[in-house]
Amino acid sequence: MTKVSLDWSSLGFGYMPISKRYVATYKDGKWGPGALTDDPTVPLNECAGILQYCQQVFEGLKAYKTKDGRTVTFRPDQNAKRMVDSAKRIEMPPVPEAMFMEAVDEVVRANKDWIPPFESGGALYLRPYLFATGSVIGVKPADEYQFRLFGTPVGNYFKNGVKPITICVSDFDRAAPRGTGHIKAGLNYAMSLHAYMTAHAKGFDENMYLDPATRTYVEETGGANFLFVTKDGTLVTPKSDSILPSITRRSLITIAEDMLGMKVEHRPVAFSEVADFAEAGLCGTAAVICPVGRVVDHGKVIDIKSGMDEMGPVLTKLYKTLRGIQMGEIEGPKGWIHEVK
């Protein structure tokens, strides 16, 4: 394989087709064997279930180079399990966990020259996804599906420094009570795009969605969970059935409790509490933690105490610990780092 030459330091978060991707098809009630392919295009029938009734779920994770030169992924088994849960809710045949894990390893191995070097702070972003290829016109689940997994190199999320963002309370809801907010489905994103563009047009970086039933509790943003820190250093994360169970958030909770000896509360968080928190942030695979400096609720400005200059001290400690584990510099809980040989 020819060595890839990219300007790793200027990479952002975008798509570029790279050497190989994984494809497996579901047909006649069972999964066929998966394989790597060079073809980045997906031929589809005009009546495919994904095109008509939006049967699609996905995942997102990263492969990294560690300081000592190993290639690793972070808790891919958790992505595999979450995609099983997502698929079931949309009446799709779940991708067997072993096939998901094989797809991750094979794509990482086949594209090893596309993984940004350790020093760049970048990663190979991996996108597993499952969608209906079978034709449906009467409303029902399709009978044929495809599972694909591609990678694309992405840069250091904080290459211009860690700057707290400003978010606004959205007038739109992200997910319905008892709906699909807890699964990773493209349809949740389709309906969040208008809210996202509306927030951007008003100069905000992101939306804070409230619980759709009462609009008094904090849910999450379009693609990241909230983290809050109280004045006495307790980590607080919102709990609701319509929040996506972020693997980053769950990992940070474990780190806070088991490694840093912090107090953690995972519970409903009233919007009225936000003004009292000392620190606020968003968490997800893309940034790990992105600090929030200001929340604006229809003209009412709430300045988070840690300010607009930097990430607060507690979130910084959590961020450094999780990044240290991912980069192989800190020993994490057993099974979190999956080496691809």
Ligand X SMILES: *Cc1c(COP(=O)(O)O)cnc(C)c1O
159 in active site: no
Q: Which is nearer to ligand X, 63 or 136 (CB)?
A: 63
Q: Which is nearer to ligand X, 61 or 142 (CB)?
A: 61
Least distance in Å: CB of 291 to ligand X? 16
Q: Does 225 bind ligand X (CB under 6 A)?
A: yes
Q: How far apart are the C-alpha atoms of 293 and 167, rounded to whole Å? A: 8
Positions in 172-211 near ligand X (CB under 6 A): 184
Catalytic residue among 184, 263, 317, 334: 184
- Both tokens of residue 192? 């969040």
Q: Does 247 bind ligand X (CB under 6 A)?
A: yes
Q: Which is nearer to ligand X, 94 or 134 (CB)?
A: 94
Q: What is the DSSP secondary structure assignment for residue 282, as one 8-state letter?
A: E
Radius of gyration in angstroms for the set of CA atoms belonging to the chain, rounded to a whole number: 20
Q: Does 126 bind ligand X (CB under 6 A)?
A: no
Q: How far apart are the C-alpha atoms of 127 and 135, rounded to whole Å? A: 24
Strand partners, 167: 206, 295
Contact 163, 224 (CB under 8 A): no
Q: How many amino acids of this chain bind ligand X (CB under 6 A)?
A: 13
Helices (H) then strands (E): counts for the chain: 7, 17
Q: Does 223 bind ligand X (CB under 6 A)?
A: yes
Q: Euclidean distance between the first and final Cα of the chain, in Å?
A: 17
Q: Which is nearer to ligand X, 114 or 226 (CB)?
A: 226
Binding segment toward ligand X, per CB under 6 A, in 30-38, 149-157, 217-225, 318-326: 217-225
Contact 45, 113 (CB under 8 A): no
CA 150 to chain centre: 15
Least distance in Å: CB of 145 to ligand X? 20
Least distance in Å: CB of 78 to ligand X? 7
Single out the residue of 76, 212, 284, 312 in contact with ligand X (rule: CB under 6 A).
Answer: 284
Binding segment toward ligand X, per CB under 6 A, in 63-71, 95-103, 137-145, 245-253: 245-253
Q: Which is nearer to ligand X, 80 or 224 (CB)?
A: 224
Least distance in Å: CB of 243 to ligand X? 7
- Both tokens of residue 296? 């604006």
Binding segment toward ligand X, per CB under 6 A, in 62-70, 130-138, 204-212, 242-250: 242-250
- Both tokens of residue 151? 């990678």
- Both tokens of residue 250? 């769950």
- Both tokens of residue 319? 């961020």
Q: How far apart are the C-alpha atoms of 180 and 177, rounded to whole Å? A: 8
Q: Which residues contribute to the site for ligand X (CB under 6 A)?
A: 60, 184, 220, 223-225, 244, 246-249, 284-285
Active site residues: 184
